[in-house]
Amino acid sequence: MAMEKMSIAKALNESLRKALDTDPKVLIMGEDVGKLGGVFRITDGLQKDFGEDRVIDTPLAESGIVGTAIGLALRGYRPIVEIQFDGFVFPAYDQIVTQLAKMHARALGKIKLPVVVRIPYGGGIGAVEHHSESPEALFAHVAGLKVVSPSNASDAYWMMQQAVQSDDPIIFFEPKRRYWDKGEVETDSIPGPLHRAAVARTGSDLTLVAYGPMVKVCLEAAAAAQEEGKSIEVLDLRSMSPIDFDAIQTSVEKTRRLVVVHEAPVFYGSGAEIAARITERCFYHLEAPVLRVGGYHVPYPPARLEDEYLPGLDRVLDAVDRSLAY
């Protein structure tokens, strides 16, 4: 095989197909994942090819979906469950937090829970409420879970492969407004570890850290800043738990300035964790306080205001200017 250009949605679909094909213990479960292929068509055609025993339309019960996936995993299966939208994971939150995250530790490592929970997340698609949220910090705060989000097709493909193979539960956040963005996928190459951050663009004046849907915005901001003679490095975090602090440190030691960008509210968000750790690690390198750009401490707004709410190019550049002004 070789290089192929495909959308993030297609890359996920291909990756799930490969997972089902490779390991008979892999299952896909969720609402509408069968005939419909999921509301975003990520599982399109999989039930047709692998049957209703492998690609399972579940009752409309998220606690039930995750809870039974835990049981299936205890029995040796590797379930990949789909939560239809970010806001609907909360009925399953109890199972994820009180059970999925902790069972391995409680069993003194004797059992493994290779469950992947796929969640299309984030805003920018003009949806009604509960369809646009970024709850990643709520999961990253819980020990026992790994939380990741790809920002491009190649990562979507490979990170899903790695997530399925992981013996730990993975919360796999898919940036839904990027589903249709296309990129090159090298289906043969062996990727780096799942938690490793990637330098999406090199630069020397300031580091932007982002993940998922905001990586594209940061790359655009960096390109715009370039025209003003500013050299911005963009780091794609890829994993929100664990976080590759070494990669951020390396970058910040070079650029001496850091801005963290995410859609989720800034307050208690992943940017707070990054800012605190990097301040500890890089205090004498920093020329400016670590700044954060993200959502406000308000409910995710109705669609007609989401462009005001979501960090866009201007808000990122504004933070870049403020950092450089120190």
Ligand X SMILES: Cc1ncc(C[n+]2csc(CCOP(=O)(O)OP(=O)(O)O)c2C)c(N)n1
Catalytic residue ranges? 131
Residue 36 binding other proteins, by CB under 8 A:
yes
> Phi and psi for 68 in degrees, rounded to 5?
-75, -30
User: How much of the chain is in helix, strand and coil states, percent to nearest 5?
Assistant: 40, 20, 40
Please identify which residue in 14, 44, 62, 205 interacts with ligand X, judged by CB under 6 A.
Answer: 62
Which range binds other proteins by CB under 8 A, 36-44, 186-194, 213-221, 236-244? 36-44
Cα 79 from Cα 67, distance rounded (Å): 11
Please identify which residue in 84, 134, 152, 255 interacts with ligand X, judged by CB under 6 A.
Answer: 84
Cα 267 from Cα 319, distance rounded (Å): 16
What is the chain's length?
326
Interface of this chain with other proteins, residues 53 to 92, rule: CB under 8 A: 57-64, 87-88, 90-91
Q: How far is the CB of 62 from ligand X (least distance, A)?
A: 6
Which range binds ligand X by CB under 6 A, 83-91, 189-197, 264-272, 302-310? 83-91
61 or 111, CB closer to other proteins? 61
Residue 48 binding other proteins, by CB under 8 A:
no
Which range binds other proteins by CB under 8 A, 27-35, 165-173, 219-227, 254-262? 27-35
Of ligand X, other proteins, none, which one sits near residue 64, judging by CB under 5 to 8 A according to partner kind? other proteins
> How many residues lie near ligand X (CB under 6 A)?
6
Q: How far is the CB of 68 from other proteins (least distance, A)?
A: 12
**Binding site residues, other proteins, CB under 8 A:** 31-32, 34-37, 39, 57-64, 87-88, 90-91, 126-131, 267, 296-299, 301-306, 308-309, 314-315, 318
